[in-house]
Amino acid sequence: MKTEFSLAAWAARAEQALDQHLPKAEAEPRRLHQAMRYAALGGGKRLRATLVYATGHVLGDAPERLDALAAAIEMIHAYSLVHDDLPAMDNDDLRRGRPTVHRAFDEATAILVGDALLTEAFAVACRSALPTERLVEIVGTLARASGSIGMCGGQAIDIAAVGQTLSLMALEDMHRRKTGALIRAAVRIAAIAGNADGAELAALDDYANALGLAFQIKDDLLDVESDSATLGKTAGKDDAANKPTYVALLGLEGARSKLRLQGEAIDQALQRLQRDSSALHAIGQWVAVRQH
Ligand code: GRG
Q: pLDDT by residue for the chain (292 residues), tens digit each?
A: 667 999 999 999 999 999 999 999 999 999 999 999 999 998 899 999 999 999 999 999 999 999 999 999 999 999 999 999 999 999 999 999 999 999 999 999 999 999 999 999 999 999 999 999 999 999 999 999 999 999 999 999 999 998 888 999 999 999 999 999 999 999 999 999 999 999 999 999 999 999 999 999 999 999 998 744 444 443 333 445 567 899 999 999 999 999 999 999 999 999 999 999 999 999 999 999 998 8
Atom of ligand 1 nearest to the CA of 182: 6
Atom of ligand 1 nearest to the CA of 95: 27
* Dist. CA 275 → ligand 1 center (Å): 31
* Dist. CA 131 → ligand 1 center (Å): 31
Domain boundaries, the chain: 7-289
What's the rounded Cα separation, in Å, for the pair 28 and 230?
37
Question: Where do runs of H (alpha helix) occur along 85-193?
Answer: 101-104, 107-125, 132-146, 151-161, 168-175, 181-193
Query: CB burial class (10 A; 0-12, 13-18, 19+) of residue 165?
Result: exposed
Q: Which of 146, 159, 178 to mutate to test the pocket of ligand 1 (most atoms within 8 A of CB)?
A: 178
CA atoms within 13 A on the CB side of 253: 0
What is the CB < 6 Å shell around ligand 1? 44-45, 47, 77, 80-81, 83-84, 89, 96, 151-152, 155, 178-179, 219
What's the rounded Cα separation, in Å, for the pair 89 and 246?
21
What's the rounded Cα separation, in Å, for the pair 32 and 15?
19
* Dist. CA 45 → ligand 1 center (Å): 11
Whether residue 174 contacts residue 158, with contact meaning beta carbons closer than 8 Å, is answered with: yes
What's the rounded Cα separation, in Å, for the pair 6 and 172?
31
pLDDT at position 234: 36
* Dist. CA 178 → ligand 1 center (Å): 8
ipTM: 0.92
* Dist. CA 274 → ligand 1 center (Å): 32
Does the domain made of 7-289 have the CATH classification 3.40.50.800? no
Whether residue 190 contacts residue 69, with contact meaning beta carbons closer than 8 Å, is answered with: yes
3-class secondary-structure state, position 99:
strand
Atom of ligand 1 nearest to the CA of 89: 1
Listed in sequence order, the residues at least 6 apart from 85 whose beta carbon sits closer than 8 Å to its beta carbon are 91, 92, 95, 100, 101, 102, 110
Nearest CA to ligand 1 atom 27: 44
pLDDT at position 241: 54
What is the value of pTM for the model shown?
0.94
Atom of ligand 1 nearest to the CA of 292: 23
Which has the closest alpha carbon to 206: 254, 271, 136, 258? Answer: 271
Whether residue 135 contacts residue 125, with contact meaning beta carbons closer than 8 Å, is answered with: yes
Question: What Rg value do the Cα atoms of the chain yield, rounded?
Answer: 18
Helices (H) and strands (E) in the chain, counts: 13, 2
What's the rounded Cα separation, in Å, for the pair 53 and 134?
17
Whether residue 217 contacts residue 255, with contact meaning beta carbons closer than 8 Å, is answered with: yes
Atom of ligand 1 nearest to the CA of 43: 27
